Amino acid sequence: MKNNSIKTLVRENILQLQPYISFRDHNEFNVPVMLDANESPFGECNRYPDSTQKTLKNKLAELKKLSPSQIAIGNGSDELIDLIIKIFCEPKKDAILMMNPSFAMYGFYAAINENRVLKLNLDENFEIVKDNFLHTVEDPSLKIFFLCSPNNPTGNSIDDIEFYLQDFNGIVVVDEAYVEFSGKKSSLELLDQYSNLIVLQTFSKAWGIAGARVGMAYASEEIISLINTVKAPYNVNVLSQELILKTLDDENRLQDNVNNILEERTWLQEQFNEIECIAKVFSTDANFFLIRMKNVDNVYRKMLEEEILTSRRDPAIPGCIRINVGNRTENEKLINLLKSIQQ
């Protein structure tokens, strides 16, 4: 970021907000009689969760070698995307920048907030054309650049993240939902150098806990304080927090999951090379493939007939289907079907 301080990027009304503070969560008690929050004294899960997610943040801070004050926890990364836009983008005035194609929810939440969405068209290899980026970011209304790496739905990682951090005069959100599959370094290593960086990660992909709906934002203490100010008081429920904490205690869970996915990804890649109805398999750093079919209508229809659910990407990416890596039984069913399709 060239000129602005973070405070100059924040909406004025957000700067005036006072965060919700749970007296219970900001004080230490031994055996409290909890008559403060109008909860039921009976039943299971009858108490509100820790609004600060203190135990979970401490555990993640240890894992990521960061301070707990650099971590915000969201009800999925979606909530965090929404909050970041609300913090930095004035409705009907400011804009976000996103790659095209990329994760649609960046534009969705911007539209809800009545912000313009500028799209940076990727080249034929789904890379950012830097000259186009430099031209586009001259727009003074741009406040946030959402950079998904590895990118969804294309699967490729974006190189030279620091270039975009240095040349964008606003907030750069690097969405690393799939980074564990890539073998690339996380942008978490850049947090100390760039005050305008926010890194999003999730438990939905490599950790295999999509149902818990837990995402993380890593950033400067200043930005995390803003996120904590605007978030709902009890945005991550007790059961999800407990499940994530239990999972984090399993030292082998993440690596085992990643290894299994990568093994299946390699197997699928080898099988795809022998399938006639496939025109092109794009390289991937994620847990999915983007595949161009010779006759996408026919292939997609036949997969649906066999109840194989995939994500059709045209017209945005003509002729393409995104297919994520399943277990061996699922993958074999997919491959057997594709091999039976002549065109």
122, two tokens: 């990727």
> What pLDDT shows up at residue 5?
86
Residues 6 or more apart whose CB falls under 8 angstroms from that of 133 comprise 120, 164, 167
Q: Which fold has domain 253-340?
A: Aspartate Aminotransferase, domain 1 (3.90.1150)
Place of tokens 């950012």: 128
Each residue's pLDDT tens digit in the chain (343 positions)?
665 689 999 999 999 998 888 888 778 889 899 888 999 999 999 999 999 999 999 999 999 999 999 999 999 999 999 999 999 999 999 999 999 999 999 999 999 999 999 999 999 999 999 999 999 999 999 999 999 999 999 999 999 999 999 999 999 999 999 999 999 999 999 999 999 999 999 999 999 999 999 999 999 999 999 999 999 999 999 999 999 999 999 989 999 999 999 999 999 999 999 999 999 999 999 999 999 999 999 999 999 999 999 999 999 999 999 999 999 999 999 999 999 997 6
Query: How many other CB atoms are there within 10 angstroms of residue 104's CB atom?
Result: 12
> What pLDDT shows up at residue 264?
98
pTM beyond 0.85: the answer is yes
> What pLDDT shows up at residue 138?
96
Q: Give the span between the Cα atoms of 324 and 256, in whole angstroms.
A: 18
Q: Which of 270, 271, 308, 310 is nearest to 288 (CA)?
A: 310
Cα dihedral 167, 172, 175, 179 sign: positive
Q: Write out the residue limits of the CATH 3.40.640.10 domain(s) in the chain.
A: 10-248
Alpha-carbon distance values, 123 to 131, 164, 211, 317 (Å)? 12, 17, 34, 12
> What pLDDT shows up at residue 235?
96
Residues 6 or more apart whose CB falls under 8 angstroms from that of 287 comprise 178, 181, 205, 206, 261, 265, 324, 325
CA 211 from chain centre, in angstroms, equals 15
Q: Write out the residue limits of the CATH 3.90.1150.10 domain(s) in the chain.
A: 253-340
Cis before 315 (ω within 30): yes
Alpha carbons within 13 A on the beta-carbon side of 249: 7
Q: Which fold has domain 10-248?
A: Aspartate Aminotransferase; domain 2 (3.40.640)
Cis before 41 (ω within 30): no
Q: Give the span between the Cα atoms of 71 and 53, in whole angstroms.
A: 10
> What pLDDT shows up at residue 4?
65
